[in-house]
């Protein structure tokens, strides 16, 4: 461990912070620095640990994350690399987006980055589905898109978790963010390539973790004659060779239903294209663990790339 890279998780007591710490515990090339519980809000103590770290992970609310970046910047030449798990810097200038499978060169961009913004859980699924299809022109950038998604309640953080555990008195299912101003929309547009604002309708179910993101399409409104097989083939080409993102081929004829919890505990992301010849309808679906590839799993992937231990 003498030559191990050091990581400080600022906000390690939260849901994502705990998950990141647990995953890093098995990494011999990485040593996690801890802060005393009574010092977690002490700016001086946090900055001291930042000075010792090769990399800092921010698991904080947006405004606190911005303040933490300023703390790190105050270290000048000794400032660590940063992975921010909040929404604060996902479309900010100077920050690299931490979805390593976005394009063939994205992992290299992350490796060389000083600042990486970890993706949101909902956008991870939607961007994985839409980015390759917009990039290849199968879906026009100005196409009207609707993104529907359901997550386990852990996706809402500590406040939402407390409404479900231990009594589970919250509703079994509910839509939210119906003002259509969800903070993930700018991120969705920035990395899908969409120029028309999509309608994003998130929901939460009475289960701890797991996620489905679905995008319905009228194929006859797309330019040219786009078929279900064309959409699936484009996704297969884009993610060929990926160890984390898998396109489940032939799902339209073999899977009559999907449940959101199948990938819990993993860092995998599964993509599906459903449709039926003659109907001119298709549904794109992504399945992931909102605490895995949707949060902590992606953060650890980025940490390892940035520290050169991937």
Query: Can you give the CATH number for the domain in which 255 is found?
Result: 3.30.360.10
- The stretch 111-125 carries a mean pLDDT of 97
Do 133 and 14 share a domain, yes or no?
no
Do 13 and 102 share a domain, yes or no?
yes
Do 14 and 125 share a domain, yes or no?
no
Q: Which backbone phi and psi does 90 adopt, to 5 degrees?
A: -70, -25
- pLDDT for the residue numbered 1: 54
Do 162 and 247 share a domain, yes or no?
yes
Do 114 and 137 share a domain, yes or no?
no
Domain count, the chain: 2
- pLDDT for the residue numbered 2: 56
Give the whole-number percent of the chain exceeding pLDDT 70.
99
Confidence of residue 179 (pLDDT cuts 50, 70, 90): confident
Q: What is the pLDDT of residues 8-34, one digit of tens each?
A: 999 998 889 999 999 999 899 999 999
State pTM to two decimals. 0.94
Do 229 and 138 share a domain, yes or no?
yes
Q: What is the pLDDT of residues 242-263, one digit of tens each?
A: 999 999 999 888 888 999 999 9
| In the block, residue with structure tokens 């499978």 | 101
**Structure-token pair, residue 297:** 């799993």
Catalytic residue, candidates 121, 160, 299, 306: 121
Calculate the average pLDDT of the chain. Answer: 93
- The stretch 193-203 carries a mean pLDDT of 96
Active site residue 121: yes
What domain range is 56 assigned to?
5-119+295-307
Do 275 and 303 share a domain, yes or no?
no
Preceding omega of 133 cis (within 30 degrees of 0): no
**Structure-token pair, residue 171:** 């509703």
Do 115 and 138 share a domain, yes or no?
no
Do 127 and 73 share a domain, yes or no?
no
**Structure-token pair, residue 72:** 């790190």
Do 228 and 174 share a domain, yes or no?
yes
In this predicted structure, the answer to whether residue 128 has a pLDDT above a threshold of 90 is yes
- pLDDT for the residue numbered 84: 98
- pLDDT for the residue numbered 171: 85
Confidence of residue 136 (pLDDT cuts 50, 70, 90): very high
Do 115 and 125 share a domain, yes or no?
no
Question: For the chain, what is the radius of gyration of the CA atoms?
Answer: 20
With residues binned 3-state (H G I as helix, E B as strand, rest as coil), the percentages for the chain, rounded to 5, are 35, 20, 40
CATH of the domain at 47: 3.40.50.720
Do 218 and 172 share a domain, yes or no?
yes
In this predicted structure, the answer to whether residue 303 has a pLDDT above a threshold of 70 is yes
- The stretch 80-108 carries a mean pLDDT of 97
């Amino acid at each position: 461990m003498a030559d191990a890279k050091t990581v400080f998780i600022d906000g390690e007591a939260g849901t994502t912070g705990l998950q990141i710490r647990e995953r890093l515990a098995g990494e011999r090339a990485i040593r996690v620095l801890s802060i005393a519980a009574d010092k977690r809000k002490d700016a001086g103590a946090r900055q001291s640990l930042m000075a010792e770290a090769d990399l800092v992970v921010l698991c904080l609310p947006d405004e606190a994350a911005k303040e933490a970046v300023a703390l790190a910047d105050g270290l000048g030449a000794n400032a660590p690399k940063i992975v921010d798990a909040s929404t604060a810097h996902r479309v900010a200038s100077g920050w690299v987006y931490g979805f390593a499978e976005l394009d063939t060169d994205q992992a290299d961009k992350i490796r060389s980055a000083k600042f990486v913004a970890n993706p949101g859980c909902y956008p991870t699924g939607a961007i994985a589905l839409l980015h390759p299809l917009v990039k290849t022109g199968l879906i026009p950038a100005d196409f009207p898109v609707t993104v529907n998604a359901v997550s386990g309640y852990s996706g809402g953080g500590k406040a939402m978790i407390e409404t479900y555990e231990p009594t589970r008195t919250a509703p079994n299912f509910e839509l939210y963010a119906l003002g259509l101003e969800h903070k993930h929309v700018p991120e969705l547009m920035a990395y899908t390539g969409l120029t028309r604002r999509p309608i994003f309708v998130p929901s939460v179910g009475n289960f701890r973790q797991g996620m489905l993101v679905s995008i319905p399409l009228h194929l006859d409104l797309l330019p040219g004659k786009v078929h279900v097989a064309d959409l699936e083939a484009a996704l297969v080409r884009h993610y060929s060779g990926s160890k984390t993102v898998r396109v489940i081929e032939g799902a339209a004829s073999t899977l009559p239903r999907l449940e959101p919890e199948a990938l819990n505990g993993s860092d995998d992301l599964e993509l599906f294209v459903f449709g039926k010849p003659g109907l001119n309808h298709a549904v794109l679906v992504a399945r992931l663990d909102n605490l895995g590839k949707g949060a902590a799993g992606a953060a650890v992937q980025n940490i390892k790339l940035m520290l050169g231990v991937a």
